[in-house]
Amino acid sequence: MAEQVNTQVQAGQAYKLDPNMRLDQKKDGSLAWYSPKEGAFQVVGLPWFQQEQIYRRLPVAPEWPIRPEVDELANCTAGGQVRFRTDSTKLSVRVKLAGAANMYHMPSTGQCGFDCYIGEPEQMKYAGTTRYDIALTEYEWIIFDWPELSPESRMITLNFPLYQGVEELEIGLLPGAVLEAPTPYADNRKIIIYGTSITQGGCAMRPGMAYPNIISRWMNYEIYNQGYSGNGRGDPEMARLLADIDNPAMLVLDYEANSVSVEYYSQTLPEFVSIYREKHPTVPILIISKINYCYNHFQPSVVELNDIRRRLASELVEQRRAAGDRHIHFLDGAGLLGEDYEECTVDGSHPTDLGFWRMAERIAPVIRGLL
């Protein structure tokens, strides 16, 4: 017999879910439950969500064929957010994930969890993270239960998991609580960041600490996280797909670390830029070279290859600017983590929260200046 579901959940505790029960049977009866696909909720950060109503970063059937690895990673919801306003003093989420966690050097709170921020754009404060048994593919978690909060409407932002697919999501609020549309963005253009596992968020402790998400709450713009772990390789098909996104504010290219060779990078980067420029001749493009890895201290030959790729990107920008493209720019990633860069990663290459914070501190002002 399946163990009975605990219906007395306290803040900071999760249900033990019975896998034989439907998701709609596993809910805290003290709350009113809502789908973010309906009503006043706004789902952002997923470019094709409005058309397809699926939590996915690329279209289900892309016009331009993509590699299977990229197609699978597109199901990871990095950069996805739900935004709304409410006066509820209690908030819970019920989540059905697409498969189990498999990033063993990354905490489940980052790869599979949601985290929550309260406050207006550029003034958000962290409020909580879901935690649960990593073996489960469904969970429910009370993010906050604070009766002492004053009864006023507050802006809520929920960040989706970084390395996990989400099939279903419901948001629980106190019955009778106000539910309103979120504060609109100051600018309805989108910032697109294309890159690697680092862009996607490996290995942030929770979703809000991936550098694109940090930047998203410092700037009043919607950001599309198009980082593909191990597979942000500058595929021309991806350039065409990203060029199909309407109303872009900027394209950031941060994929050098997935280039398999200097020759490969020297081919893909100019082609990627040229394809994007066909549709968006004046949209700012920012090319960022890779961050320093810990072995930079010990392997001069690797540092030399990094320098070659960095010069390739820098020279491409200079050449295009000399030819009249004044909207393309270069940022040297070697300085993003600071002088003690070796202390800013989980495994020598993927940033910790400290590393992501430092990246955001240095990238955000550049983006702001170019906008």
E strand spans, 160-242: 165-173, 179-180, 190-195, 222-227
The whole-model pTM stands at 0.92
| Sheet with 248-254, edge to edge strand ranges | 222-227, 190-195, 248-254, 285-288, 328-331
**Structural domains of the chain, with CATH:** 23-180 (2.60.120.260), 190-370 (3.40.50.1110)
- pLDDT for 18 beyond 90: no
- Interhelix angle for 300-322 vs 262-279, to 10°? 30
Specify the pLDDT at position 21.
Answer: 36
- pLDDT for 27 beyond 80: no
Output the CA–CA distances (angstroms, integers) from residue 215 to 10, 128, 220, 285, 347, in the order listed: 32, 19, 9, 17, 23
Strand partners, 33: 172
Question: CA-to-CA distance for 193 and 212, rounded, in angstroms?
Answer: 8
Given the structure tokens 């439950």, which residue do they identify? Answer: 33
Tens of pLDDT, residue by residue over 173-230, are 999 999 999 999 999 999 999 999 999 999 999 999 999 999 999 999 999 999 999 9
pLDDT band with cut points at 50, 70 and 90 for residue 103: low
Tens of pLDDT, residue by residue over 85-96, are 999 999 999 999
Specify the pLDDT at position 135.
Answer: 82
Percent of the chain scoring above 70 in pLDDT = 91
Tens of pLDDT, residue by residue over 133-187, are 888 899 999 999 999 999 899 999 999 999 999 999 999 999 999 999 999 999 9
- pLDDT for 2 beyond 50: no
How would you classify the pairing of strands 81-86 and 42-44? antiparallel
Alpha helices in the chain (DSSP H): 49-52, 68-73, 108-111, 197-200, 211-218, 236-243, 262-279, 300-322, 353-370
Tens of pLDDT, residue by residue over 247-258, are 999 999 999 999
pLDDT band with cut points at 50, 70 and 90 for residue 104: low
Selection from 40, 62, 35 nearest residue 51 by Cα = 62
